[in-house]
């Protein structure tokens, strides 16, 4: 091609580009005019009416702020529900990376409610330290369960979370030697495939063990109980993010497979009753526990959020009256700031007691009525770091369970999309394209590392306090900062109750 031809070609190209540019600018200008007319003539949105076109950017920036805040504006310790420091600890633990820090703590140690552990002048040597010992639940059951894990996976239903997420959790739990709660959505093949010990949760809708009328089906209950992997049964009364409200699974998540597992209709919202219809008082609760335990032969307890607490006296008095064989084998206590895939804001923000208040109350009531350690205590609710777990052990729990800690281990970025089937990490979506980024084998390793490193660092705190293993922690091993900036011992803040009734430890 000669120079003249090249020049002509370039000039022709520039003319075409100029025409395209002018056309594009004209089209954009026309669209702006149309949007201006639409905004100025409508009366539903005052901002758009008073500031046509420009007013639309408010909604855009408000939406984008939700995502950019955690990266550019929020400080390490100020976000909710979990701040950057908490998330980063969970990520590094899951990746099995060193969790050391330099220069000094970014945590304000004078804020009211801050927990400070009391180090011993003569800490436990590594050679004298031991791992958390085994604890038996339901020792008088036909099939008791002896658990060696201290940290376990809380209830997350298949449906609320995706197939690869369930697979990764199950495989990771098996490798770490901890148990996995199925959540109220029933038992899926993916729970079983990983080989982990399972706690089957019976929600208010009885998913997986219900008849056509939605009532408990003993035959289906036996079919679940015969599986060796299913170690315990948990009757769910309430959960932290929505006490007084049943499970909510949007229609978009109710696939044919999930509907078959739950025993419900496809592509319709899965809304659980706000309580078990057959449990309306303490006697009926204990009868339900006894019935499930009798049918399955396995340890049975219940999960609740504590709000009204006077009923604990009625519950424990009834147990003392009827006999210890009617006692639940465990109580899982959830916090009012617990998580969920979907809940009304009015319940999530304003109903129930946080674990910091309710856990000491429950443990002390059990001590008062002489029911510890007959009834094991499992704590749940934002316990995702060593500090949180060690605090709960000081108060007197036997086990800790967490859901969101394991979601971070899977790669959750706290996008707050759990209820929309648009989770960008593939954890809480059934969109195949989004699920492809979640490799169950890779994430199983992260789940196992998270358990191992969380357990290890709780042990580091325990050894600094001078005990041999974490379950030896007591209330005098920690202090809590008060309004004046000074701390008091947890033992002083929550004095141990001396029970007049003695129950022999099992």
**Residue 152 neighbours by CB under 8 Å, 6+ apart:** 173, 178, 179, 180, 181, 378, 399, 400, 401
Each residue's pLDDT tens digit, 268-301: 887 788 889 899 999 999 999 999 999 999 999 9
The tens digit of pLDDT for each residue in 492-502 reads 998 865 544 44
Q: How far apart, in Å, are the Cα atoms of 279 and each of 92, 235, 441?
A: 43, 11, 41
Distance CA 329, CA 293 (A): 9
Closest CA to 244 of 165, 340, 331: 340
Average pLDDT over residues 232-243: 85
Match domain 126-493 to its CATH number in 3.20.20.70, 3.30.410.40, 3.40.630.10, 3.30.365.10. 3.20.20.70
Average of per-residue pLDDT across 471-499: 88
Q: CA nearest 392: which of 433, 350, 362?
A: 362
Question: Span 332-352, mean pLDDT?
Answer: 76
Residue 114 · residue 481 · CB < 8 Å: yes
Chain mean pLDDT for the chain: 87
Q: How many CA atoms lie within 13 A of 302 on its CB side?
A: 25
Q: How far apart are CA 328 and CA 307, in angstroms?
A: 19
Query: For residues 73 and 59, is the Cβ–Cβ distance under 8 A?
Result: no
Q: Give how far Cα 365 sits from Cα of 299, 378, 495, Å.
A: 21, 15, 12
pTM of the predicted structure, to 2 decimals: 0.84
What are phi and psi for residue 249, nearest 5 degrees? -115, 115
Query: What are φ and ψ of residue 489, in 5° steps?
Result: -65, 145
- Tell me the C-alpha distance between 42 and 235, whole Å: 52
What are the pLDDT digits (tens) for 169-228? 999 999 999 999 999 989 999 999 999 999 999 999 899 998 888 889 999 999 999 999
- pLDDT number for residue 254: 83
The pLDDT assigned to 503 comes to: 41
The pLDDT, as a whole number, for residue 336 is: 82
Whether residue 105 has pLDDT greater than 90: no
**What residue spans of 297-439 are helical by DSSP H?**
311-322, 345-350, 355-368, 386-395, 404-410, 432-435
Domain ranges (residues) in the chain: 3-73, 126-493
């Amino acid at each position: 091609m000669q120079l003249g031809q090249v020049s002509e070609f370039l000039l022709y190209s520039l003319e075409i580009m100029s025409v395209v540019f002018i056309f594009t600018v004209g089209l954009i200008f026309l669209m702006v005019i149309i949007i201006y007319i639409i905004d100025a003539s409508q009366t539903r949105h005052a901002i758009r009416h008073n500031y046509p076109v420009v007013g639309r950017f408010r909604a855009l920036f408000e939406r984008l702020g939700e995502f950019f805040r955690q990266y550019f504006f929020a400080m390490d310790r100020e976000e909710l529900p979990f701040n950057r420091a908490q998330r980063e600890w969970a990520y590094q633990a899951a990746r099995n990376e060193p969790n050391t820090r330099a220069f000094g703590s970014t945590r304000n140690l004078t804020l009211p409610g801050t927990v400070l552990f009391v180090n011993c002048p003569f800490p436990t040597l590594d050679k004298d330290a031991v791992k958390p010992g085994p604890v038996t639940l339901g020792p008088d059951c036909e099939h008791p369960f002896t658990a060696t894990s201290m940290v376990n996976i809380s209830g997350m239903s298949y449906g609320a979370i995706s197939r690869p997420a369930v697979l990764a959790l199950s495989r990771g739990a098996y490798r770490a030697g901890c148990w996995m709660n199925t959540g109220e959505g029933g038992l899926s093949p993916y729970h079983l495939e990983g080989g982990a010990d399972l706690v089957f949760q019976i929600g208010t809708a009885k998913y997986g063990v219900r008849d056509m009328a939605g009532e408990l089906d003993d035959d289906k209950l036996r079919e679940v109980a015969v599986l060796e992997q299913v170690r315990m049964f948990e009757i769910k009364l309430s959960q932290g993010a929505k006490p007084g409200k049943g499970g909510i699974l949007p229609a978009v998540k109710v696939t044919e497979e999930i509907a078959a597992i739950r025993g419900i209709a496809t592509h319709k919202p899965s809304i659980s009753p706000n309580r078990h219809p057959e449990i309306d008082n303490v006697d009926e609760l204990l009868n339900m526990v006894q019935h499930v335990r009798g049918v399955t032969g396995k340890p049975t307890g219940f999960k609740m959020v504590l709000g009204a607490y006077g009923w604990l006296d009625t519950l424990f008095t009834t147990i003392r009256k009827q006999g210890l064989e009617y006692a639940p084998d465990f109580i899982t206590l959830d916090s009012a700031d617990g998580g969920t895939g979907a809940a009304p804001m009015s319940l999530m923000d304003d109903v129930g007691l946080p674990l910091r208040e309710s856990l000491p109350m429950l443990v002390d009531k059990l001590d008062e009525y002489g029911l510890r350690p007959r009834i094991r205590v499992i704590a749940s609710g934002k316990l995702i770091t060593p500090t949180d777990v060690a605090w709960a052990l000081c108060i007197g729990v036997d086990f800790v369970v967490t859901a969101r800690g394991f979601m971070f281990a899977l790669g959750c970025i706290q996008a707050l999309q759990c209820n929309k089937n648009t989770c960008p990490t593939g954890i809480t979506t059934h969109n195949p394209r989004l699920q492809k980024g979640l490799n169950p084998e890779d994430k199983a390793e992260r789940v196992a590392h998270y358990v191992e490193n969380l357990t290890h660092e709780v042990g580091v705190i325990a050894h600094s306090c001078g005990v041999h293993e974490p379950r030896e922690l007591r209330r005098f091993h920690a202090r809590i900062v008060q309004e004046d900036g000074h701390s008091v011992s947890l033992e002083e803040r929550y004095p141990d109750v001396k029970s007049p009734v003695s129950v022999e430890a099992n």
